[in-house]
Amino acid sequence: MLASSASTLDNEQWQSFAVPNQCNQAGIDLIKKFEGFIPHVYLCAGGYPTIGYGHLLKEGESFEHDITEEQAEALLRDDIAVAERAVRNLIAVPLNSNQFSALVSFTFNLGSGALQASTLRKRVNAKHYDDVPYQLQRWCYAGGVKLNGLIKRREAEAALWCKA
C-alpha cells in the first residue's frame, strides 16, 4: 500500500507521512542527559555561549541571572523544534520514532548544516539503515579533539536508532 499511496502524494505530504513529526521522550531524555542542566551561561565544548540544556545563545540574547529548569525546558522545546524541522526537511525516507529522535539529537548537538553535509544523511536517504550507527559514531570531535562525552552520546544515539 505504501508504494501505491506514495505515487499520489506530493512531496510535502510524503514527508509528513514518511517521517515522524516530533522527537519522542527517549530522544528528549537523551538530549537532556548529555547536555545536562546548567542554569548560567557557560562555554560549551565547541566554545559557544550556552545555557540550560545546551541552548546556544543567539546574537543579542543574554541571560543576566540564572534560569530555572522550567525555563531551560522551554528553551529546549524550541531548540528541539528547530532540529525536528531540519530532520524532516533533510530526510526523505521512512523512519520510525526512535530513528527520527536519534537524528534529532544528532542535529540538536551539531546543527542542521552538519546533517545536511554528512555521509550520515546520504546513507539514511539511500535506505542504508544498518550503516547509521557507524556514521553517527564518526562525529565525536569538537575543535579537532575526540571527546569522551561525544563518543558516549553517539553510542546512545546509535542505540536509540537501533531500538525497534
Is 35 catalytic? The answer is yes
Which of the residues 35, 64, 70, 84 is marked catalytic?
Answer: 35
Other CB atoms within a 10 A radius of the CB of residue 60 amount to 5
Active site residue ranges:
35
